[in-house]
Amino acid sequence: MRVYLSENAFMDLLLSSAEVYKSECLGFLLGYKLEDRFIIEHAFSLQTASRKLKGVKSQDRSHKQIEPILARFDRLQIIGDFHSHTQFGMYKGVPHPSKEDIAGMTPEQIYLIVAINNNRKTMIWAENRDSTISGSVDNFFFKISAYFINGSAAVRKAKIHCPFPPGF
């Protein structure tokens, strides 16, 4: 499984996770799914997510209010969600799904985790061999992973592809 992140979605993910840094953000991914790939066009964070330092409450994931608007854009659908994992005390945020994250996954959807930590080194943005993408912006270091549930209900990693905008 592959995930194609648009430049817009990439920017959204960085901004959403940096804005609430030290808390976690949560949002929906908009795009479409083809047989072997997810195309993510937009990522928008949920204002209604009640943020805790560690973890965002999952009951805020209903999309009743935005459903009528989404229905007007037939090419785009909610194809999954994203949230950030951030530094917590001495523990760095890592882009691995927690038990709760996995329990909240359903088939045919894609789930992105944005690990965001402080880092003073400049790291060039790249698609990594472990299927993630990572890089730094100013003092932040980001590492983004994608997961999905396959036919036998196992959690699998998808490979992320992203056309990094100039300067990244």
111: CB partners within 8 A, 6+ apart? 80, 81, 82, 97, 101, 105, 146, 147, 148
Choose the stretch contacting Zn ion; rule: CB under 5 A; options: 11-19, 29-37, 100-108, 127-135: 100-108
Choose the stretch contacting Zn ion; rule: CB under 5 A; options: 5-13, 39-47, 93-101, 147-155: 93-101
39 vs 143 by CB, closer to Zn ion: 143
d(CA 167, CA 49): 31
Sign of the torsion angle spanned by Cα atoms 40, 43, 49, 53: positive
Choose the stretch contacting Zn ion; rule: CB under 5 A; options: 69-77, 92-100, 102-110, 141-149: 92-100
12 vs 101 by CB, closer to Zn ion: 101
Residue 104's nearest CA partner among 139, 57, 150 is 57
Strand pairing report for 26-34 and 77-86: antiparallel
Q: Identity (one letter) of the amino acid at 94?
A: V
Number of residues located near Zn ion, criterion CB under 5 A: 2
> Taking the complex as a whole, how short is the minimal distance between the CB of residue 101 and Zn ion, in angstroms?
4
Q: What is the DSSP string of 35-81?
A: TTEEEEEEEEE-TT--B-SS-B-GGG---TTTHHHHTT-TT-EEEEE
> Taking the complex as a whole, how short is the minimal distance between the CB of residue 62 and Zn ion, in angstroms?
18
Q: Does 122 bind Zn ion (CB under 5 A)?
A: no
For Zn ion, which residue of 43, 49, 101, 115 counts as binding (CB under 5 A)? 101
> Taking the complex as a whole, how short is the minimal distance between the CB of residue 113 and Zn ion, in angstroms?
6
98 vs 150 by CB, closer to Zn ion: 98
Choose the stretch contacting Zn ion; rule: CB under 5 A; options: 15-23, 97-105, 144-152, 154-162: 97-105
Q: Does 98 bind Zn ion (CB under 5 A)?
A: yes
- Chain contacts with Zn ion (rule: CB under 5 A): 98, 101
